Amino acid sequence: MTTKDNSFAAVMARKSEIIRAAVGVDYKQFESGSIAFDYEKMMASTGYTLEDVVEIQRGFAIGNTPLIELNNITALVRKLSKDGYGARIFIKDEAANPSGSFKVRRAATSIHHAKRMGYPGALSATSGNYGAAVASCCAKSGLRCIVVQECYDSRGVGQPEIIEKARKCEALGAEVVQLSVGPELFYTVLRMLEDTGYFNASLYTAFGIEGIETLGYEVAQQCRAQTGKDPDVVVCTNAGGGNLTGTARGLHKADCKAQIVAASVNLKGLHMASDTQFNKKSFTTGHTGFGMPFSTWPDRSDVPRSAARPLRYMDRYVTVNQGEVFYTTELLARLEGIERGPAGNTSLAAAISLAQELPEDQIVVVQETEYTGAGKHGSAQLSFARQNGIRVSLGNPKDEIAGESIILPAHPSLLHAVDVDLDHIRRSLITHAATTVDHAPTENDITFLAEETKSSEAFVREALKQVE
């Protein structure tokens, strides 16, 4: 009897084989042998049309969530704006989905496909919202489910929000495996996929991104039905990039030309893989610790080629601070009577700032909300922050230092989204791509990188000079 070598090095050496078996996709068919690969062919390889995905989601009672106009918050924005300014703000209430977030759209397509292909169960690596989504769809489909969480630091201390989401996953029937922060996450996932034969319900497959296209499509259709026009700006909370990618692709399929704005919580200076800094942040997703690295290099994910490629669709990227998001969470509850979790309120905090730049007749849509719960409440997260030595105070959020302080705005006029230099991010992606090959990028590579960064071939050539 031959015993498998399950050392870290051996498992990593066979990761491509494991992923191929667990997703059922041979990514080599999309490759060019250089930097470029056929992204649209990969997206089409699922065999599902937008109409197919809508039908799949309908079978899970997913979608057609309300688009809600925030009249009171819009009125506040107009008080803060110059005359004639202050765009109308709407939110797409994705908390109305069965698992409480937009991520169940991603899960539905994946689990439908897993069931169709005969997998006995599905596995996902996630801090929780997506795990709950996969667990919900598995429960309805009669499949087993494992959720692997990066939950604790080396002291065994877990974040309230992550622990809260673990409870949700377990309530929906999933087996939850909780790990400490570090490289063992991917290793553990690979071993479990190999041992169980489960489907890899990755956040980054074409199945998952296609699932979110319905969200962007609904935003366009509902906005037209309710206001007689398209949204002018759609704000997406950005972490791994799938939320923005899928939403933008859905908007494009609806022939909607809205500006796509990414929003992340500013956690500059904190390293997401650092044991000592893991619990110094008060947001587990939607922050720059994911948003920046995944924008500059999407293929750091758990599949060979990520379908989440946000720079292809991003028109603008802004950040807000932690205190601003906590403040906005309470603002939404107190002014609109809507209590929702932190991730969607990242883009709402940005939208309140951005709406002040726009005339009153324009429309800003925040394209998702998420459920809340005991561990996801601002009070729980702020208490946890204080326990970890973070100073919490009222003042000007621009003075906040991630990992040291959280500053709640003393007045709503202090909510202010800060622009990220998109060209800098584009150059980072281009220069990183150039280091992955041992030759000069080909003409095909240059065309691909221009599409990848939503720039031009001239921009790509100029960026490549830095590598030379």
Residue 303, Cβ density class (10 Å: 0-12 exposed, 13-18 middle, ≥19 buried): buried
Please tell me the predicted confidence (pLDDT) of residue 2. Answer: 59
Instruction: Determine contact, residues 260/314, Cβ cutoff 8 Å.
Output: yes
**Signed CA dihedral, 358, 359, 360, 362: sign only:** negative
Q: How do beta strands 259-265 and 175-180 pair? A: unpaired
The per-residue pLDDT string of the chain (468 residues; one tens digit each, 9 = 90 and over) reads: 557 899 999 999 999 899 999 999 999 999 999 999 999 999 999 999 999 999 999 999 999 999 999 999 999 999 999 999 999 999 999 999 999 999 999 999 999 999 999 999 999 998 779 999 999 999 999 999 999 998 898 899 988 999 999 999 999 999 999 998 877 888 999 999 999 999 999 999 999 999 999 999 999 999 999 999 999 999 999 999 999 999 999 999 999 999 999 999 999 988 877 888 889 998 888 999 999 999 999 999 889 999 999 999 999 999 999 999 999 999 999 999 999 988 889 999 999 999 999 999 999 999 999 999 888 888 999 999 999 999 999 999 999 999 999 999 999 999 999 999 999 999 999 999 999 999 999 999 999 999 999 999 999 999 999 876
pTM: 0.96
| Residues in a beta bridge with 89 | 364
What residue ranges define each of the domains in the chain, with the CATH number in brackets? 8-55+101-206 (3.40.50.1100), 62-100+207-419 (3.40.50.1100), 432-467 (no CATH)
CB atoms near residue 273 (< 10 Å): 12
Instruction: Determine contact, residues 231/365, Cβ cutoff 8 Å.
Output: yes
Please choose, from the candidates 437, 368, 385, 380, the residue with its C-alpha nearest in 3D space to the C-alpha of residue 103: 368
| Residues in a beta bridge with 11 | none
Torsion of CA 269, 163, 191, 28, to 10 degrees: -60
Q: How far apart are CA 79 and CA 233, in angstroms?
A: 20
Please tell me the predicted confidence (pLDDT) of residue 42. Answer: 97
Residues 6 or more apart whose Cβ sits within 8 Å of residue 293: 300
Please tell me the predicted confidence (pLDDT) of residue 272. Answer: 76
Q: Residue count of the chain, please give it.
A: 468
Angle at 236 between CA 111 and CA 147, to 5 degrees: 30
3-state secondary structure the chain: CCCCCCCHHHHHHCHHHHHHHHHCCCHHHHECCCCCECHHHHHHCCCCCHHHHHHHHHHCCCCCCCEEECHHHHHHHHHHCCCCECCEEEEECHHHCCCCCCHHHHHHHHHHHHHHCCCCEEEEECCCHHHHHHHHHHHHHCCEEEEEEEEECCCCCECHHHHHHHHHHHHCCCEEEEEECCCHHHHHHHHHHHHHCCEECCCCCHHHHHHHHHHHHHHHHHHHHHHCCCCCEEEEECCCCHHHHHHHHHHHHCCCCCEEEEEEECCCCCCCCCCCCHHHCCCCCCEHHHHHHHHHCHHHCCCCCCCCCHHHCCCEEEEECHHHHHHHHHHHHHHHCCCCCHHHHHHHHHHHHHHCCCECCCEEEECCCCCCCHHHCHHHHHHHHHHCCCEEEEECHHHCCCCCEEEEECCHHHCCCEECCHHHHHHHHHHHHHCCCCCCCCHHHHHHHHHHCCCCHHHHHHHHHHHC
